[in-house]
Amino acid sequence: MNSQEFRAGDQDPQEETRKIQYTGGSSYIVSLPKKWIQEMGIKQGDYVTIARQENSALQILPSTKRISREQKEAVIEVMKNNNPYFLARKLIAIYFLGFNVINVIPREGRLLPEQREVIKDVVRRILMGTEIIADSAGGITLQVLINLHDLSVDAAFKRMLLIAKSMHRDTILSLKENNVELAKEVVKSDDEVDRFSFYIIRQLKIAIKNDYLLKEIGLRESRNCLGYRLIAKSVERVADHSTVIARDIIDMQKPLNKDVVERIEVMSNFALEVLDDACLSMFKQDYNAADMAIEKARKIDALEKSVLQTLNKLHHINELYRVKMITENIRRVAEYASDIAEIVLNMTVQQILKR
């Protein structure tokens, strides 16, 4: 089917004007852009769903779950004087852009041993679903094998949240038991949270350009991608604060006063409750629950004061500093939970106004 295309001089490059044709005596038809067809993975004989929006617009979506598996390939040329960590940052940035295959090659000669080692370390610790499929002195090829249908953003976020909360609980348990080995396990778990965070960022960047994938994630509007990105970052920071406390526990010379630790535990449990409330409001898209979580988070200050009131039982300056550091990191967990709830308010306020 042919169609005539018109372009205005200042037309948006993402828009096309196509001529409506009358055929068969009762039908109006219009052709679809070839590029869109290819990106959606649609072929002749497939169906599309046409939905009328609240205004005069029509929305066309693939009626099947077939999304193009086109391999997006990128090449990173490495200079001998490139810092290995500069290379790592570039690799992560390209991963975020949604490339499936990444070739790392030397501009001249061979990759240096330290450059190859950093690439392998980044793949192992940070880039979820990525495997090295070719490795030689002449270059390294990476392939991202995991995609949205294998692990949804929602599922990735829930697993990330679960790990972050477990890290926090284990940190407090290691403080109670003066368990250095458990604290070391908490530090190791931080990489796993980062892997999920980077994966979520990657998927959001891909989905923001594709309305169909956006709906697969469960987002109503592309602007909410920013909200999910900030929420994932907040959960990542919760894990970071647990790691800070765990590292300090590893360096402790002797356990803290039992009464002090008990009050720290109460404060910690409350902070996790607020985090649970905030994230639940996100999963349910519940404005009122988010608002209640914000109000609840304010009570963390009173619990922090309760802990600090016990400082007269501590006699060494290092112990005083350690308790203040621990309570500050726990308070930050409640504050990040409040930030999550505030983002949920911004994402759901329109629903409240429509009522």
Q: What is the CATH number of the domain that holds 344?
A: 1.20.58.220
Residue 216, pLDDT score: 67
Last residue of a domain, one of 16, 31, 62: 62
Task: Give the Cα separation of 96 and 341 in Å (integer).
Answer: 26
- Same-domain status, 24 and 122: no
Q: What is the CATH number of the domain that holds 80?
A: 3.30.110.20
Our count of domains for the chain comes to 3
Residue 199, pLDDT score: 92
- Same-domain status, 140 and 164: no
In a domain, 67, yes or no: no
In a domain, 225, yes or no: no
Cβ-in-10-Å burial (0-12, 13-18, 19+) of 260 comes to: buried
Residue 4, pLDDT score: 40
Q: Which residue has the tokens 């350690």?
A: 322
In a domain, 250, yes or no: yes
Residue 112, pLDDT score: 87
- Same-domain status, 244 and 331: yes
- Same-domain status, 305 and 236: yes
Last residue of a domain, one of 42, 62, 82: 62
Both tokens assigned to 346:
């911004």
How many C-beta atoms surround the C-beta of residue 138 within 10 A?
11
Residue 18, pLDDT score: 81
Burial track 274-287 (b if 16+ CB lie within 10 A, e otherwise): bbebbbebbeeebb
Mean pLDDT per 10-residue interval, the chain, length 355 residues: 40 69 76 80 78 68 55 86 86 90 90 89 90 88 81 88 96 94 94 92 82 67 84 95 95 85 95 97 92 96 90 71 93 97 90 65
How many C-beta atoms surround the C-beta of residue 272 within 10 A?
19
Q: Which domain holds residue 344?
A: 153-220+231-354
- Same-domain status, 30 and 161: no
- Same-domain status, 135 and 175: no
Query: H-helix or E-strand containing 40?
Result: helix 34-40
Strands (E), 156-205: none
Residue 25, pLDDT score: 65
Residue 217, pLDDT score: 65
